[in-house]
Amino acid sequence: MSQAFRCAKCGLSCEETDNFCRRCGGSLKPGKSFFHSHAGIIILALVAGPFALPLVWTSKRMGLSAKIIYTILLLLMGYYLVKTCVRIYTLTFQMMQSMTGAF
Ligand SMILES: [Zn+2]
């Protein structure tokens, strides 16, 4: 017993196990790609930081509590990222100032 499984784009009936439509190539499982899984989002978070947020919220693989936890973690990560950038900038600026002040 397999229920009717159709492509959202072109309406072609597909196998439930297919990830992509055989006619138009459209994704049959939006929000269920590798990057919507926990492992995918963690990897993306390490590479792109807060930019992984949209994937967290479009993911259909995880529940609301997991989404909230990831959102908090990503926002914290973004906060520290900005803080570190400001610190590096300030330190560089101070160093430049002390260097030019030495002459
Ligand atoms: Zn299709």
Q: What percent of the chain has pLDDT over 90?
A: 31
Query: What pLDDT sits at residue 102?
Result: 60
Distance 31 CA to ligand 1 centre (A): 17
28 near 15, Cβ under 8 Å? Answer: no
Distance 59 CA to ligand 1 centre (A): 21
How much is the mean pLDDT over the chain?
86
**End-to-end CA separation in angstroms for the chain:** 83
Q: Which residue has the higher pLDDT, 16 or 91?
A: 91
Distance 62 CA to ligand 1 centre (A): 26
Distance 66 CA to ligand 1 centre (A): 31
Query: What pLDDT sits at residue 91?
Result: 96
Give the pLDDT band of residue 1 (cuts 50, 70, 90).
Answer: very low
The domain locations on the chain are: 34-102
**DSSP letter string, the chain:** -----B-TTT--B--TT-SB-TTT--BSSTT-SGGGSHHHHHHHHHHHGGGGHHHHHH-SSS-HHHHHHHHHHHHHHHHHHHHHHHHHHHHHHHHHHHHHHH-
Q: Which residue has the higher pLDDT, 71 or 50?
A: 71
